[in-house]
């Protein structure tokens, strides 16, 4: 019986869906808030980054222009991410829960980027997102953070 169980476990690992595997690589934030990781387009799972006014970060070279939310994500990513793929989309992109390391974060030593964006008010939770994401969005709205606190970037949600 233990051999059968071991054989089943080996088969499950060998035939694991590659779409659900973990990615640990260098990531670049795109202007639409997606991540480019090894030639793949990865959307942060459970959130939507609404378009806001474009601004430019001029303290860096080359100058980086994007929405304020995307610039915040770009500062947070710090290039290397660990992502667990959740789904593959018809357009070839993937949704994933992506994490970065930060020992000083109130969200813990490994930060879920979707949770971080919601906590700071730079994204909205999608329908069907985990309950924790809905709570983080609500906290950001109540504290008027990010898009919820800056009149030029306000987003109304019905």
Judge whether residue 110 has pLDDT over 80.
Answer: yes
Q: Using the CB atoms, write b or e for 77-94: b if 16+ within 10 Å.
A: beeebbbebeebeeeeeb
Q: What is the mean pLDDT of residues 5-26?
A: 53
- Its pTM stands at 0.77
Confidence of residue 12 (pLDDT cuts 50, 70, 90): very low
Judge whether residue 123 has pLDDT over 80.
Answer: yes
pLDDT digits (tens, 9 = 90+) for 81-90: 999 999 999 9
pLDDT at 118 (0 to 100): 97
pLDDT digits (tens, 9 = 90+) for 43-67: 999 999 988 778 887 777 788 888 8
pLDDT at 157 (0 to 100): 53
Q: Using the CB atoms, write b or e for 104-116: b if 16+ within 10 Å.
A: eeeeeeebbbbbb
How many CB atoms sit inside 10 A of residue 62's CB?
6
Strand, coil or helix: what is 50?
coil
| DSSP run (H or E) holding 91 | none
Q: Rounding to the nearest 10 degrees, give the CA dihedral for residues 140, 145, 147, 149.
A: 120
Q: Which residue has the tokens 């001029």?
A: 58
């Amino acid at each position: 019986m233990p051999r059968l169980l071991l054989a089943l476990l080996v088969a499950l690992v060998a035939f694991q869906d590659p779409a659900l595997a973990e990615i640990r690589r260098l990531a670049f934030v795109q202007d639409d808030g997606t991540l480019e990781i090894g030639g793949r387009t990865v959307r942060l799972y459970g959130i939507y980054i609404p378009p806001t006014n474009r601004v430019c970060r001029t303290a860096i070279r080359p100058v980086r222009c994007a929405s304020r939310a995307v610039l915040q994500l770009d500062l947070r990513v710090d290039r290397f991410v660990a992502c667990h793929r959740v789904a593959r989309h018809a357009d070839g992109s993937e949704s994933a829960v992506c994490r970065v390391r930060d020992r000083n974060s109130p969200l813990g030593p490994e930060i879920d980027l979707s949770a971080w964006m919601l906590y700071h008010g730079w994204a909205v939770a999608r329908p069907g997102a985990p309950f924790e994401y809905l709570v983080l969005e609500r906290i950001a709205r109540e504290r008027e953070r990010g898009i919820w606190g800056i009149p030029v970037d306000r987003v109304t949600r019905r």
